[in-house]
Structure 1
Amino acid sequence: MPNYQTPGVYVEEISSGSKPIEAGATNIVGFLGVAEKGPINQATLVTNWTQYTKTFGGMHEGGWLGHAVYQFFQNGGTKCFINNLAEPAKKKDAAPAKAGDKADAKKEEKKEPVEIKNPDGIAKLIIGKDEGLGKKSGLFLFDEIPDIALVCAPGVTDPAAQDAILSHCARMRFRFAVLDSPETLTGGIDTIPKPRDSMMGAYYFPWVQMYDPVHDQNVYVPPSGGICGVYGRVDGTRGVHKAPANEIFKTAIGLKYNLTDAEQELLNPKGINCIREFPNRGIRVWGARTISSDPEWRYVNIRRLFCMVEQALQNGTNWVVFEPNTRDLWKKIVRNITAFLLGIWRSGALFGDTPEEAFYVRCDDELNPPESRDLGYVVCEIGLAPAKPAEFVVFRVSQKTESDS
């Protein structure tokens, strides 16, 4: 206690001992691609489409990055980092269009269609290199930005590049990949290639049609940029625990392929999320699965919820390091984590009528025996019961007859 010498009133600030744990942002995207202009191999923060066009130009024929970022913001995205991998290829003469049959006639009459595609060699640029501090490129550049929660390389379907993105997300632990399927199929619906098994990514089919104001026409574009925007919109309005499905794809005016229920029955078990058009309901994201074969990590929202919780716990318990490893410390850890998980439960993210049904937190002698404490470990065990999406809604209908009364 301070030694006061002068009579008077003194006010002291006393720490409550509570160390609040806060969830970080879950909707910040790291985009990789080729822009029309702008800095190369730098992670640049962008918060709106106008800022993007000033720094990187707009939509162009040398890649899908501009289209993806436009879709991202139009569908509800708010913040992203851009890694412009290279200068765009020089413009060539216009090629036959890959725009859709359903394009608005007035828009199609104004200009000759152009073909937009990613430049050759973009897969190697995405994989990148790590040659030490200040010498990182591609995905490795995002290692230095802990805020990124989603990773997207629009239009990139090269297996090596997609594998590198999934490996990056697994290595960073709290990131999730949004991947595109190829634009066209070489055979039937069962020939759609699928990335390797991973709980750290989701895969979307088919490509969507949007209006390209630069070329004044409709074009087919990869859906991943708009999907990231849908993730952001759902995170902001409902929370990361809500499946980003049965949501309007705002920038889509058509689809490369219109799927039937029977066709989706073939794709859904494979973890291929479909985008579909429904009468009077518009074009919607109609799938919320990861590309994992593990039933525990089947759903996008479950994986992303755990990413959010784990990252919040890691960041919010740093104060524990080098504290005396006593039972008093264990009680503080349990108290702080319980307070955080209560908020998660109240948001509707966990299943259970009471906190005891929804989660548990343990940090006791059984988990921390003397030999473990001697090694400097403090172990806390946490269990969560996530609320899984109602993917299949079944109504049982019976008819009451006169004889039943």
Structure 2
Amino acid sequence: MPHYFSPGIYVEEVPGAARPIGPVGMAVAAFVGVAPNRTAHVDRALAVNSWSEFLRLYADGDDLESTPLARAVFGFLDNGGSRCWVVNVGADGQLTGTGQRRTGLQLVEAIDEVAILAAPGFHDPVSHEALLSMAERLRTMVAICDPPPGIEDISTLTRVATPARPGRAGDGKPGDGKPGDGKPADAATTPADTDTDAGTAHRARQCDYGTYYFPWLRVRDPLTGELVLTPPSGHMAGIWARTDALRGVHKAPANEPVRGAVDLEYLVTRSEHDVLNPKGVNVIRYFAGEGIRVWGARTLAAEASEWRYLNVRRLSISIEQAIAGGTRWMVFEPNDYSLWRSIRRDIGAFLTRVWRDGALLGRTPEEAFFVKCDEETNPVDVRDAGMVVAHIGIAVVKPAEFVVFKLSQWAGGTDTETIGG
């Protein structure tokens, strides 16, 4: 209690009992690749908030050559992204380093705000494994894997490619398609990147924190002005960010136009799409009158997995990160009834806001989520171990991936009861 020495009225500010948990943004991307100026800021992670800033940092110099990284950053910003981190690995760089110094993807680990991970120009099985392994380990982001260019046999996208044996090709070095033909430009994109399944498998492995898009996009290069093929990861990341801003992270980033894309390397048919979608390959389609649109919203999880939808995975990450950050004040607090009540109150208030935003399924908050933190979840042995445990359940809204209208012929008539339903 404060000490008062003279008569009078004293007003004190007392912090409110509730400590609000704020939402966590999921629209910041990280791109790892080769910059137009291959010597610019090598193995440094720098924030980029505009195309002019990227040009100043990574495209300042003579004899510049456009790269998948440059086109990815432009595609991200053009499609609705506003902030990303860029790591230039240099001409001979790799996604993952072997020494004591952090390089490539390792630099992204220290950036907490990154929620989307991509490596445009790296599309071999070793690179896919590096991206997916990092996303699985951190559990704070979703990786976008690019297919190699020049795929003509759709069945190869339904089979998982395995990394090459040590000493063979497929060391995670970048490859770029030649403008106009989409063929590999160096050994890193050849079938030698796989082991016994060389040339017959291109899909990334099963992963709850990864996605895979097909095909490559034909765009106008922002540096040269030429029409070139480019991997889709940068444009897809921008669409994720755009959907987050307009609708929320709970909305599947699909049925959205791909800004800047003038054509596709491969036009997928309906029957081919029927094969690719169950395998977790998100297809980019062209529709007459509507243009080029993203027509898939799945992760690389198993088809029966509860994490097979991209928006479900990203919403769960967002909620987990928000709760983790908003309840940090509870660490080292007395583990008693008061703390358990605070946990139920704060997390319940946060999830109520999430439900009101339309991200959770249920007519009432009680149907949409529950938060349980009491003697049952915190018995004596749990408290003695210094832990407090809360069980949280959420009913996530899943996308209407298959919209089915059942039509039948009707003879007509004046039966108002039938007409009214």
Residue 166 (structure 1) shift: 0.7
Matched, 1:221 2:225: no
Partner residue, 1:348: 358
Matched, 1:128 2:97: yes
Q: Structure 1 residues 29 and 402 mapped into 2: Cα distance closer, same or farther (>3 Å)?
A: closer
Q: Which amino acid aligns with 1:163?
A: E
Matched, 1:68 2:59: no
SS at match of 2:205: coil
Partner residue, 1:162: 128
Residue 36 (structure 1) shift: 1.9
SS at match of 1:127: coil
Partner residue, 2:36: 36
Q: TM-score, normalised by structure 2?
A: 0.84
Residue 241 (structure 1) shift: 0.5
Q: TM-score, normalised by structure 1?
A: 0.87
Partners of 1:60 and 1:66 within 8 A in 2: no
Equivalent of 1:276, from 261, 278, 285? 285
Q: Structure 1 residues 160 and 375 mapped into 2: Cα distance closer, same or farther (>3 Å)?
A: same
Partners of 2:96 and 2:104 within 8 A in 1: yes
**CA offsets per residue over residues 55-106 of structure 1, 9 Å max, x none?**
11189536311011000100000000111111x4xxxxxxxxxxxxxxxxxx
Equivalent of 1:232, from 226, 236, 241? 241
Residue 11 (structure 1) shift: 2.1
Partners of 2:124 and 2:148 within 8 A in 1: no
CA–CA distance in structure 2, aligned partners of residues 55 and 400 of structure 1: 66
**CA offsets per residue over residues 229-278 of structure 1, 9 Å max, x none?**
00000001101110000001011000001111111001001000000110
Mapping of 1:316-335 within 5 angstroms?
Answer: 316-335=326-345
Residue 331 (structure 1) shift: 0.4
Partner residue, 2:140: 174
CA–CA distance in structure 1, aligned partners of residues 394 and 407 of structure 2: 34
CA–CA distance in structure 1, aligned partners of residues 362 and 98 of structure 2: 46
CA–CA distance in structure 2, aligned partners of residues 234 and 140 of structure 1: 28
CA–CA distance in structure 2, aligned partners of residues 130 and 317 of structure 1: 36
**CA offsets per residue over residues 210-244 of structure 1, 9 Å max, x none?**
11243332111111000000000000110111000
Matched, 1:246 2:255: yes
Partner residue, 1:98: none
Residue 400 (structure 1) shift: 2.1
CA–CA distance in structure 1, aligned partners of residues 70 and 336 of structure 2: 54
Partners of 1:72 and 1:228 within 8 A in 2: yes
Residue 143 (structure 1) shift: 1.5
Residue 142 (structure 1) shift: 1.1
Q: Which amino acid aligns with 1:184?
A: G
Residue 182 (structure 1) shift: 1.2
Matched, 1:194 2:203: yes
Partner residue, 1:101: none
Residue 128 (structure 1) shift: 2.3
SS at match of 2:306: helix
Q: Which amino acid aligns with 1:353?
A: R
Partner residue, 2:276: 267
Structure 2 gap ranges (5+): 158-201, 416-421
Identity rate, percent:
44
CA–CA distance in structure 2, aligned partners of residues 205 and 319 of structure 1: 44
Q: Structure 1 residues 60 and 400 mapped into 2: Cα distance closer, same or farther (>3 Å)?
A: farther
**CA offsets per residue over residues 291-344 of structure 1, 9 Å max, x none?**
110520110000000011111111111111111110111000100000100011
Q: Which amino acid aligns with 1:142?
A: V
Mapping of 1:206-217 within 5 angstroms?
Answer: 206-217=215-226
Partner residue, 2:10: 10
CA–CA distance in structure 1, aligned partners of residues 363 and 401 of structure 2: 21
**CA offsets per residue over residues 35-56 of structure 1, 9 Å max, x none?**
1222111110110101000111
Partners of 1:34 and 1:62 within 8 A in 2: no
Partners of 1:231 and 1:244 within 8 A in 2: yes
Residue 3 (structure 1) shift: 2.3
Partners of 2:66 and 2:224 within 8 A in 1: no
Count of aligned positions: 366
Matched, 1:51 2:53: yes
Partner residue, 1:118: none
Partners of 1:129 and 1:138 within 8 A in 2: no
Q: Which amino acid aligns with 1:166?
A: L
Alpha-carbon RMSD = 1.6
SS at match of 1:214: coil
Please identify runs of 4+ aligned residues in structure 1 that moved more than 4 A. Answer: 402-405
Q: Structure 1 residues 213 and 3 mapped into 2: Cα distance closer, same or farther (>3 Å)?
A: closer
CA–CA distance in structure 2, aligned partners of residues 339 and 177 of structure 1: 31
Structure 1 gap ranges (5+): 89-120
**CA offsets per residue over residues 341-376 of structure 1, 9 Å max, x none?**
001101111111110111000001111111111111
Q: Structure 1 residues 354 and 63 mapped into 2: Cα distance closer, same or farther (>3 Å)?
A: same
CA–CA distance in structure 2, aligned partners of residues 31 and 60 of structure 1: 19
CA–CA distance in structure 1, aligned partners of residues 98 and 80 of structure 2: 32
Partners of 1:207 and 1:221 within 8 A in 2: yes
SS at match of 2:32: strand
